[in-house]
A and B are shown apart, each in its own frame.
Chain A
Amino acid sequence: MATVLFYILGFTMLAATLLCITRRNPVHAVIYLVAGLFALALMFYLLGAPLVAAWQVIVYAGAIMVLFLFIIMMLGLAPQDVPEGPSWQRWGPLALLSSSIMICTLLLIFKDPMAGQQIDDFYLAPQVLGEALFSRYALAVEIVSFQLLFATIGAYMLGRPLPKGEDQ
């Protein structure tokens, strides 16, 4: 049951992502991406990561995608300012390149001797994850928190008013 669900979710995710990257309107693209992220969160859950799944929904689909939508709507991009969509002259070589990369990736994965290995049933309780995060990986947590601080300062610096004459 879980296996069938995993493959259904995987193909849902790929379909939503494919629809997302072919949209011209960024609002539609973000909505499709949110659908794909929900499917990915359920895949995380099936792989025994309930906490990561929950945070995927809260942080990714919730916060980050809403931030994207907020910026799109604040700048008033949709839909009149959307540049004309990618033409077939741009599509052709790219589709060739991407499909060749994808085929090579899949061949490498399936020719690997480990390819047939099954993932055993696994469930990681959030408590165990939290203990590992704040004991063995405490230094990494500190570094990431510093990075979030730097990102805040960087966003503030970029958001300051432009000097006179540079604003068009």
Chain B
Amino acid sequence: MISFGHALAFAGALFVLGLTCVLLHRQILMILIGVEIMLNGASLVFVAASAYWQQVDGQVFALLLMAITAAEVAVALAMVVYLWRRKRTLVADEFNRMRG
């Protein structure tokens, strides 16, 4: 039997690792990867809660979360390409001016 607390602990650890990645790196792509890791932690919570309460709703929301993530990644990667064309760099510290 899997303990519900342990599933939640795995999800929490995953979320904290993603947060560390966002805070640690200066490259925009690595920051995006950190966001992905955090979203995966959230979807693990949804699926574990769905199994714990024996309800379908958690899995439905995990699927919707996946679709929303796909939309977010599409826009974010388009923005990465835009920033690259703008300044030829992806270091987040370089983008510190409001106008150009």
B-binding residues in A (CB < 8 A): 2-3, 6-7, 10, 13-14, 17-18, 20-21, 26, 29-30, 33, 36-37, 40, 43-44, 46-49, 51-52, 55-56, 59-60, 63-64, 67-68, 71-72, 74-75, 77, 81-83, 86, 90-91, 94-95, 97-98, 101-102, 105-106, 109-110, 112, 114-120, 122, 124, 128-129, 132-133, 137, 140-141, 144, 147-148, 150-152, 154-156, 158-159, 162, 166-168
In angstroms, how far is the closest chain A Cβ from the Cβ of B19? 7
Cβ-defined partner of B4 (8 Å) among A59, A82, A106, A114: A114
Majority secondary structure of chain A interface residues (helix, strand, loop or mixed): helix
A70 to chain B: closest CB distance in Å?
9
Which residue of chain B lies nearest to A95 when distances are taken between CB atoms in the complex? B20
Residues of B within 8 A of A110 (CB): 5, 9
| Cα(A91)–Cα(B20), bound, Å | 10
Starting from the known contacts A56-B66, A64-B73, 11 additional A-B residue pairs (CB-CB under 8 Å) come to A2-B2, A14-B14, A40-B40, A98-B20, A122-B50, A122-B54, A132-B57, A133-B60, A140-B60, A150-B71, A159-B78
- Which residue of A67, A98, A148 contacts B67 across the interface (Cβ within 8 Å)? A148
B78 contact set on A, CB distance < 8 A: 154-156, 158-159
Q: Which size class do B's interface residues fall under?
A: 35 or more
Q: Which residues of A contact B90 (CB under 8 A)?
A: 75, 77, 81
